[in-house]
Structure 1
Amino acid sequence: MLVAVITILLHNLALAVLTGVIISALVFAWESAKRIRARKYLDEQGIKHYEIYGPLFFGSVTAFNEKFDVLNDPGEVIIDFKESRVADMSGIEALNKLTERYKKVNKKLHLRHLSEDCKLLLKNAAELIEVNVLEDPHYKVVVDRVSGK
């Protein structure tokens, strides 16, 4: 609708399409930012887990930071990115600031289930940030072998 209105008013289809693409991208970023969620629980060792759902990027950093209760969390915290991914440098910076907040109150923060892309982004930013990444477990698959003689 917007593209049609701009085309009629300005008589420039290329500018109207470009404006439509930009507005669509901004709406997508806004909608994606609202989708970041965290499921929180304490395990039997007293470690608090935050399972993150949704992408961590420039549009969701504020909502991401609001999920954590640094002062009231136990001494060890794990953030699980199994259902999420760090998409850009804003997400990495958010992790850095969160790490610093936990460090100031002498608490350990671990990251788990990062995708290979996320690990690469964190490795590339190693001089800028300090993040403790837990090694993900390696799951073995049971194979049903039949001995053939």
Structure 2
Amino acid sequence: MKLTGGCYCGALRFEAEGQPGFWGQCHCRPCQYISGGGPNFFMMMPADGVRYVRGTPQSFARSDLENPVTREFCGTCGTPVLTRIAGYDQVVLKAGALDDPARFGTPQAAIYTKDQQPFHVIAADVPSFENLPDR
């Protein structure tokens, strides 16, 4: 699968190739901050298949956490693009940054629903988990 995308203002563009390992919607509180309040819709893509073809992202990792993730976003418009997890060979690619978000399809699962807000919607046919599902 080949996906393309970028940020809202167009300063940042990326290509992602490979098979998604998992795609879903995350309701954890950190994702709510990043998404603006809703769940985060994402695809796990091979890290070595993702490259920026225009621009350089800004990044942020919390300094107060033992194992923080690194979030990459457009420094001009703020669009979240992906998250890198140290020691993991996949990145968390944000569905909203895709040129064609419909390629995301239907989430395989909703995760971290223990933090779900009353206004978050999970489709009836999508399995949900309070934390991460067993692998």
Q: Which has the higher contact order (CA 8 A, sep 6+)?
A: 2
Using the size of structure 2 for normalisation, the TM-score is 0.26
Mark the structure with the bigger radius of gyration: 1
When you count strand as a share of all residues, which structure comes out higher?
Answer: 2
